[in-house]
Structure 1
Amino acid sequence: MTIGFFDSGIGGLSVLAESFRRLPAQNYLYMADTLHVPYGTKSEEDVKAFVLESIEAMMGEGIDALVVACNTATSIAVEELRTLYSIPVVGMEPAVKPAVEMNRATGKRVLVFATPLTLQLPKYYALVSRVDDRGIVDSLPMPELVRYCEDLQFDKRIMEDYFRAKLSPFDLDDYGIVVLGCTHYPFYTDTLRGMLPPHIRIVDGNAGTVKRLAALLHRFGIAGDAKGSGNVRFMCSGGDPAYIDKMRTALELIRGNAIETEDVL
């Protein structure tokens, strides 16, 4: 069987890397919508159209389950995808609930990094309203960070300067957790750990997403069919071989080691 992972760009590779750790015997197909990345600064209507077109292309490759490895795309399109397709579909949301629960005893606040579009969507407001009964969650749009990641800009000096500028209005002593609410952002976890006060924990939704994926595979009766070789095929909406190489490089960076891959344009 093949599990499909979808994102606008390379961000979802951070979720795929977690899936390799938890479900190493599966085969994977990863698609990036390179014609339209980034999603976080576009309209809701446009993003939904982009997502549906991309997933239709993935279905043509014969995927057996789908992870929408993008918080913005999940908020906009995951319910429609579940009505369109009979395969398991897993979405993502910023890890606000676990962050609030983890911080409950500390008296500290929670700071959520996310794309502008994610922060504007009703689903995000509903999530925060549901779990944040003490009003401790603050949100910070990071519109430039996706583009930095897509450009493989990981120079610590440059990125530390960027984060310091974005965080300058905040008293970090007030915060106990930073939530990485976009799948591109975990690429900067090490940089953030090196510059944030040591008492601040950094969380994302990747592990929880893969746990839900594993549970759904079991529920659909396909969890035991883990007879793949743990390889990944790449495809992208732009059909650009150079971007395929970029995805391979990014996955190796976030996994910390090389993997066997095949290309699908």
Structure 2
Amino acid sequence: MGIAFFDSGIGGITVLHEAMKRLPGESFLYFADTLHVPYGTKTSEEVNKYVKQSIDQITREDVKAIVIACNTATSIAISGLRNGYDIPIIGMEPAVKPAVEMNRSTGKRVLVFATELTLKQSKYTDLVSRVDEQCIVDSLPLPELVEYCEALNFDIRVINDYFRAKLAPFNMSTYGTIVLGCTHYPFYKNILRKLFPDIQIVDGSAGTVRRLSQVLKSADIVNVQAPVKAQTQVSAQLSMDVKFMCSGNEPAYIRKMERALEII
């Protein structure tokens, strides 16, 4: 039995990649809802319906756990999913809490990048209210970055110009951490690090995979693995360890997902 990762598009591959490094004994399935990508511009009702349809399809496969590798889908649908299925379902949330803790004593602020829909959800606003005692968290939607990612557009000049335009209203010297609150965004982590070398860039992938590992161990369903692959070997071998599926049954998108896994 494998572990399924779900997203509207290729963004959740950043989470899958983390899991493949940390859980090398497991087999993986990655499912993209290509009929409805992107989710960030949809209504909550639409996203809830699309997620349910996709999870119904995933559970027809031989899977023992599902990771909702999408902050938007988690914020809208996770409660209903956990009540509706009898296998472990792990969600995501922007890494606001660790980012706030990093900056609690520095006087620096935290800037969260996410989709508009994620930022509107009570799950996100409640999270910020709960952990941001010093009121140091700001939020910025970057919907176009999802579109760039889905097009596999990693042109440094294009992406640099995009970030500079979006961040022009912000005094970036006041920020200590940027939180990548959409799973598409870590594809641009290295570009951000070069633009802002003094700012920490964090995302929720590692925390999500830690939680996944804990859930598997608690349920005693962890596969005993061979020795962990050296990180330098992982990128070349990942595509052999995962099955890709998409709601649109598009061979071209399957190839895109395979390419994205090589890139990350």
TM-score, structure 1 as length reference = 0.93
Q: Displacement of 1:226 after TM fit?
A: 4.9
Q: Does 1:75 align with 2:75?
A: yes
Aligned to 2:124: 124
Measure the CA separation in 2 of the matches of 1:29 and 1:147.
Answer: 23
Distance, in Å, in 1 between the alignment partners of 2:6 and 2:224 is 22
Partner in structure 2 of residue 204 of structure 1:
203
2:256 maps to 1:246: yes
Q: Matches of 1:50 and 1:249 in 2, distance apart?
A: 25
Residue 71 of structure 2 contacts residue 181 of structure 2 at CA under 8 Å; is this kept in 1? Answer: yes
Match of 2:233?
none
Q: Deviations over 1:186-230 (max 9, x none)?
A: 00001111111x221000000000000000000111024558x97
Cα displacement string for residues 164-183 of structure 1 (whole angstroms, at most 9, x for unaligned residues): 00000000111000000000
Q: Is the 8 Å Cα contact of residues 26 and 223 (structure 2) preserved in structure 1? A: no
Which portions of structure 1, spanning 4 or more consecutive aligned residues, are displaced by more than 6 angstroms? none
Residue by residue over 1:37-74, the C-alpha shift from the partner in whole angstroms, topping out at 9 and shown as x without a partner, is: 00001000000000000000000012110000000000
Q: How many residues align?
A: 252
Query: What per-residue deviation string (whole Å, max 9, x for no partner) do you get for residues 119-171 of structure 1?
Result: 01111100000000010000000011101000000000000000000000000
Among the aligned pairs, what percent are the same residue? 62
CA contact (8 A) 1:218 1:224 kept: no
CA change 1:81–1:226 in 2 (3 A) is farther
Unmatched tracts of structure 2, length 5 or more: 227-237
**1:134, 1:104 → 2: CA distance?**
8
CA distance, structure 1, for counterparts of residue 52 and residue 120 of structure 2: 21
2 CA distance for matches of 1:63 and 1:20? Answer: 15
* Equivalent residue runs for 1:98-247 within 5 Å: 98-196=98-196, 198-224=197-223, 226=225, 231-247=241-257
Could you say which residue in structure 1 is the equivalent of 2:235?
none
Q: Could you tell me how far 1:81 is from its partner in structure 2?
A: 0.9
Residue identity opposite 1:185 in structure 2: Y
d(CA) in 2 for partners of 1:226 and 1:62?
19
Q: CA RMSD in A?
A: 1.2
- Partner amino acid, structure 2, of 1:214: S
CA–CA distance in 2 between the matches of 1:219 and 1:63? 17
Contact 2:25 2:224 in 1 (8 A): no
Query: C-alpha distance in 2, partners of 1:35/1:80?
Result: 21
